[in-house]
Structure 1
């Protein structure tokens, strides 16, 4: 008889918790951002753009989340791998859906399993990564 533990998927409530935590962190730093949360299948669970955030931040937050999800890695860890001399330099153009290798995207795990991703755009790459990290820690 096999025993399997079911890992709860990322819920709308989880997604809202992530968005709120990232936005609070950004607001405390005086930065306006967009935040995207995707489920494990890459489907949009939550999105919010501060009305003062630059418009492109909505697109960058979504692409960062998608990239982190597809590669199951923080986008901050992938930047050097896609540089012209990096081992994955062609990955940026290899797929139909564009990936974005700028810090600010994080995979979200529960019980060691990938359950989704968050992407933050609007600040500097380091700021966005920090806001996403703070948000991911809010689910722990």
Structure 2
């Protein structure tokens, strides 16, 4: 548990991560797409990962980088894409770190009681990853 200004916030558990994975899986299966899904805690540590059998191998890496980017930047990755364009203020950031970030739609921070507690990344269906991640984070536990 973390305490901030007298408020105790319970970090996400493995069970919480599995609930998110299940919600994402239902959304992607309903759409008929195959993806990889990564859930990280607030420290960037892996809580859960799932790759559909037919999902592209690289989708595992993209889902993890999207989750890491959403976590470190504290914002959905879809909202950050414009910042890394050649004329954007953060154009060199994607390659400036040991663990590169990925500014592509599909990563969402996860908040609990107003605190950032982790992130989810979905990779595999670029035109839909952002909506899958949003629906997953908004789904009731």
* 2:60 is the counterpart of 1:49: no
- Structure holding more strand per residue: 2
Matched, 1:116 2:118: yes
Structure 2 unaligned residues grouped into runs of 5+: none
Equivalent pair of 1:35/1:121 in contact (CA under 8 Å) = yes
Give the Cα–Cα distance (whole angstroms) in 2 for the partners of residues 139 and 95 of structure 1: 34
Say which of 96, 102, 107 aligns to 2:98: 96
Structure 1 equivalent of residue 39 of structure 2: 37
**Structure 1: gaps spanning 5 or more residues:** none
TM-score, L = length of structure 1 = 0.94
Query: Number of paired residues?
Result: 137
Moved over 3 A (4+): none
Between the aligned partners of 2:76 and 2:140, the Cα distance in structure 1 is: 17
TM-score for the superposition, normalised by structure 2 = 0.94
